[in-house]
Structure 1
Amino acid sequence: MKISGFDEMTRRLHQLGNRASRVENNALRAGAEELQETMSRNAPGPSDKQRRVHLKDNIQMGRVKQKEGAKVIEVGPGRESFYAQFLEFGTSKMSPKPFVEPSVVESRNRVLRAMAEKLRQGIGL
Structure 2
Amino acid sequence: MANLKLEGVENLLTELEKLGKEGEKIERIVLVKAGEKVKEAIVKEAPHRTGNLRDKIRVTKLKKVDGAAFVEVYPSKDAFYAAFLEFGTTKMKADPFMSRGYENSKEDVEDLIVEEIRKGLGL
The two structures have a TM-score, normalised by structure 1, of 0.90
Q: What residue number does 1:32 align with?
A: 35
The number of aligned residues is 120
Q: Equivalent residue of 1:2, what SS?
A: coil
User: Cα offset for 1:16?
Assistant: 1.4
Supply the RMSD in Å over aligned alpha carbons: 1.2
User: Cα offset for 1:69?
Assistant: 3.0
> Which one of the candidate residues 76, 99, 113 is aligned to 1:78?
76
Unaligned segments of structure 2, at least 5 residues = none
Q: What residue number does 2:10 align with?
A: 7
User: Cα offset for 1:68?
Assistant: 4.0
The runs of at least 4 aligned residues of structure 1 exceeding 3 Å deviation read none
Unaligned segments of structure 1, at least 5 residues = 49-53
Q: What residue number does 1:60 align with?
A: 58
**Identity across aligned pairs (percent)?**
33
The two structures have a TM-score, normalised by structure 2, of 0.92
User: Cα offset for 1:47?
Assistant: 5.2
Q: What residue number does 1:92 align with?
A: 90
Deviations 1:12-48 (A, max 9, x none): 1122121000001111011111101010111012355
Separation in structure 2 between the aligned mates of residue 40 and residue 104 of structure 1, nearest angstrom: 10
